[in-house]
Structure 1
C-alpha cells in the first residue's frame, strides 16, 4: 500500500491545498518498503490530486481537506485518512499497525474569498487560493 502524507518539517501539514510536499511511504505487511519526499511545487488542490495519483498513491493522509478535494480523490480512486496531525514518524507507525483512522472532522470548509478560516481542528491562518 502506498501512502502520501502531507508534509512539512517532519509534521503532518494541515491544509492539503497548500501542502509543500508529501512523504511517500510504501508499506507491505507492516513493513516500510520505501520512503521518499515528493515536492508539490506550489501546486493547487486539483494538481495535487493528479500529482499523487501519478505517483501511484493508494491513500492520502492529511490534516484539513475541503469537499472538492475529497471528491477529486474519490474520482481518482485514492482513499483518504483526514484529520491527522503530529509527527509523521508517529503517523507512519500507526499506518504500519493499521490503527490510523479517518477523522470526518478534518474538513476544510471555507469560502475561497476569506482570509482566515478554520480547517477542522486547526487554524490555517491567512492565505488566498
Structure 2
C-alpha cells in the first residue's frame, strides 16, 4: 500500500508547505484510492512537517509552494514530492494516479524570512499574482 499526502485547505491544495495546518492522506492500493482522512499537522516548519509525514507512513507529497529546506527534509525522509500543484486535492491525487498530474518541479518558495504579509498584492516569490489572503502565504 502507498500513502499520498496533499497539503490541504478547504478541499484545495494549500499553497505553502511550511505553513500547512492540515494534510489529506490517501491510502492507495493497486493504483486506486481505498481510503482517505484529514490530519492536523500539529506543527510548522519544513523539518517538523517532513517528520510528521514520515511518521504517518507517507510515500508521496503533492503540494503548492515549497522551499529548498523543505525539499531537502522531504528527500531525507524518503518522501517523493510534486510541487507547484493547484486545484482540488482529490482531483490532484486522481491525476497523479492517472499519470496526468500538472506540477512544476522547479517551484520554489523563496520568501522565507522576508516578513510574511508585508508586501501587498503579491505572493513573495511563489510565481503567481495571488493575493496573500488567498492562502499562499
User: Is the Cα contact below 8 Å between 1:27 and 1:96 reproduced in 2?
Assistant: no
Deviations 1:75-99 (A, max 9, x none): 1111010000001121121122132
On the 8 A contact 2:13/2:87 being kept in 1, the answer is: yes
- SS of equivalent residue, structure 2 residue 132: coil
Aligned length: 127
Alpha-carbon distance change, 55 to 124 in structure 1, aligned in 2, over 3 angstroms: farther
Gaps of 5+ in 2: none
Cα distance between partner residues in 1 of 2:64 and 2:48: 18
TM-score by length of 2: 0.82
The answer to whether the 8 Å contact 1:14/1:124 transfers is no
Cα pair 2:107 2:126 within 8 Å, conserved? yes
1:125 matched to 2:126 = no
Inter-partner Cα distance in structure 2 for 1:98 and 1:22: 21
Unaligned runs of 5+ in 1: none
CA distance in 1: counterparts of 2:102 and 2:79, whole angstroms: 15
RMSD, aligned CA: 2.0
Q: How many Å separate the matches in 2 of 1:123 and 1:108?
A: 14
TM-score scaled to structure 1, two decimals?
Answer: 0.87
1:12-31 pair list within 5 angstroms: 12-31=13-32
- Runs (4 or more) in structure 1 with deviation over 3 Å come to 120-124
